[in-house]
Structure 1
Amino acid sequence: MNKNKLAALLSLLDDPDQEIYRSIEKELAELPISTIPQLEDSWFNSKNEMYQERLESVINKIQFTNVKKDLIKWAASESPNLIDGAILINQSYNPNLLTDPIRKNVQKIKYDVSLELNEHHTALEKIKILNHFFYNIHNYHPLPPNQPTNWDGDIGTVLSQKNGNYIILAIIYAGIAQELNIPVYGINLPGSVLLCYKNEQHPESKRTPSDSILFYINPIDKGTVFGQKELAQIISTKNIENNSKYYLPTSNNSLIKRLVQHEISVYKKLKLNSYIPNFKELFKSL
């Protein structure tokens, strides 16, 4: 969009006619994110409160639309990275999120774990090493589920404070494992986020459901390892159908979708309703 057209649209942003305003807002909201500095300059140069309020809304819409597009691309990629997915969710309501500290925190854990790993370690030994550094050295732990906050799913805050809700901790744990080429994935069990160690040695063409998994991991119990019988007992206590899909690995998209679902629930409880429409849009995008 050229400068003259942008200036013309901005001059109509404080029009009292709601139909004109909605039309202008819709066109401005489709601008690329690269125009935001110009819009911010216009905001600072104005003393009109209505104009500033409406322009701020436009800027927020542009930022959210950009994140949504990135999330759609992320979900469509061949191997969506869990850490990147969680960052995008965080950016959807905090567009000024600094990603360098997030990546540095993740890299530090990965580096510490990688120093201890070697090709001779068994799957259990790899998880034992990961657990040691994640829970004991870096001291990550879950927040009580009955104390929801508006930050306990923010990967940026969680990595700096070293605690968060059970979903984001599972995402960070599995994301680090996957970046270390340790095949840890989520399982789609209602009301819980458990992980599994995928059996990548067994030929996929000859694999039965029980062959797909070596063992399961509880990321909110310091990475405790357990088997299929124990998982069956957990399913039994939930009074849900003992469905075979609850024993199998789920996609990274599904884990990020669970994070968005959790955010919707928490923000409803905290009566932060203005964020919920955007979360619902993200949920549909995955």
Structure 2
Amino acid sequence: MNKNKLEALLSLLDDPDKEIHKSVEKELIELPVSTIPQLEDFWLESKNPIFQERLEMVINKIQFKTVKRELIEWSSNENPNLIDGAILVNKSYNPNLLIDPIRKSIQKIKDDVSLEISDNLTALEKIKILNHFFYNIYNYQALSPNQPTNWDGDISTVLSQKHGNYIIIAIIYAGIAQELNIPVYGINLPGSVFLCYKDESSAKSNTENTNSILFYINPIDKGTVFGRKDLQYIIKAKNIVNKAQFYKLASNTSMIKRLVQHEINVYKKLNLNSFIPNFKELFRSIIE
């Protein structure tokens, strides 16, 4: 869009006629994210609070639309990266998120773990090493679900604070493992997030095959390892209907959807309702 047309549209953004400014807004939010610096310049130059408020809303919608598109593309990948998915969720409400510090934090853990891991180690030995660095050296831990905050699912904040909600802790743990070629994935159990270790010899097997799972991992209990019978006991203790799907690998997209759903629940509890429509839109846009 050329500058003259952009200026003409912006001049109508504070029009008192609702139909006019809504029509202008609809056209503006289709602008590419690269236009935002120009829009921000117009915002700074204006002394009109109505114009500034409406332009700020336009900028937010452009940013969200961009992140939503990126999340759809992410979920369309054959092997979507868990850490990247969590970054996109964080970016949906913090468009100025700095990604480089996140990636440096993840890389530091990966570098430390990779120095101790080799192909001749058993699956349990690899998890023991990962647990040592993740929980004992870097001191990551899950917050109590009884104390929800509006940041406990932000991967950027969690990496700096070393604690977060149980879903983001599981995502970071599994994401690091996967980037180290350690086949750790989520399982979808209501009210809990457990992980599992996929049999590497079954790497090409269907993810629906529970026989390809060597053991399960509790990421909020310092990576405690347990077997299928223990999982059966946990399901019985939770008094929920025992379903075959609870023992199967969950896709990375389903893990990110659980993170978004958790954000919806937390923001409802905190009465931060203005964020919820965007979260719901993100949830619907993720392809499983």
Q: Structure 1 length normalisation: TM-score? A: 0.98
Q: Is the 8 A contact 1:212 1:248 kept in 2?
A: no
* 2:234 partner amino acid: I
**What's the RMSD between the two structures over aligned residues?**
1.3
1:154 matches 2:151: no
**1:5 — aligned with what?**
5
Distance 1:260 1:207 in 2: 23
**1:260 — aligned with what?**
260
Offset, 1:188: 0.7
Offset, 1:240: 1.5
Question: 1:181-218, CA deviations, whole angstroms, 9 ceiling, x for partnerless residues?
Answer: 00000001111100000113037569984412000000
Map 1:103-122 to 2 at 5 A.
103-122=103-122
**1:277 — aligned with what?**
277
* 1:215 partner amino acid: F
List gaps (5 residues or longer) in structure 2. Answer: none
Distance 1:165 1:249 in 2: 21
Residues 12 and 79 of structure 1: CA distance in aligned 2, closer, same or farther (over 3 Å): same
SS in 2 for 1:110: helix
Distance 1:122 1:68 in 2: 40
Residues 195 and 203 of structure 1: CA distance in aligned 2, closer, same or farther (over 3 Å): closer
* 2:269 partner amino acid: K
1:245 matches 2:245: yes
Residues 201 and 144 of structure 1: CA distance in aligned 2, closer, same or farther (over 3 Å): same
Percentage of pairs with the same residue: 74
**1:183 — aligned with what?**
183
Question: 1:95-130, CA deviations, whole angstroms, 9 ceiling, x for partnerless residues?
Answer: 011111100100000000000001110000000000
**Which region of structure 1 is more displaced relative to structure 2, 202-211 or 256-265?**
202-211
**1:230 — aligned with what?**
230
* 2:26 partner amino acid: K
* 1:229 partner amino acid: K
Distance 1:239 1:67 in 2: 38
SS in 2 for 1:68: helix
Question: 1:28-47, CA deviations, whole angstroms, 9 ceiling, x for partnerless residues?
Answer: 01100000000000000000
**1:70 — aligned with what?**
70
**1:80 — aligned with what?**
80
List gaps (5 residues or longer) in structure 1. Answer: none
Q: Is the 8 A contact 2:260 2:279 kept in 1?
A: yes
SS in 1 for 2:239: coil
Offset, 1:159: 0.2
Residues 218 and 205 of structure 1: CA distance in aligned 2, closer, same or farther (over 3 Å): closer
Q: Is the 8 A contact 2:208 2:249 kept in 1?
A: no
Distance 1:207 1:158 in 2: 29
* 1:175 partner amino acid: G
Distance 2:23 2:198 in 1: 51
Residues 206 and 27 of structure 1: CA distance in aligned 2, closer, same or farther (over 3 Å): closer
Distance 1:160 1:207 in 2: 33
* 1:120 partner amino acid: N
Q: Structure 2 length normalisation: TM-score? A: 0.97
* 1:68 partner amino acid: K
1:173 matches 2:173: yes
* 2:270 partner amino acid: L
Distance 1:102 1:205 in 2: 32
Distance 1:281 1:204 in 2: 33
Offset, 1:2: 1.3
Offset, 1:4: 1.2
SS in 1 for 2:202: coil
**1:197 — aligned with what?**
197
Distance 1:237 1:19 in 2: 57
Residues 203 and 169 of structure 1: CA distance in aligned 2, closer, same or farther (over 3 Å): closer
**1:44 — aligned with what?**
44
* 1:79 partner amino acid: N
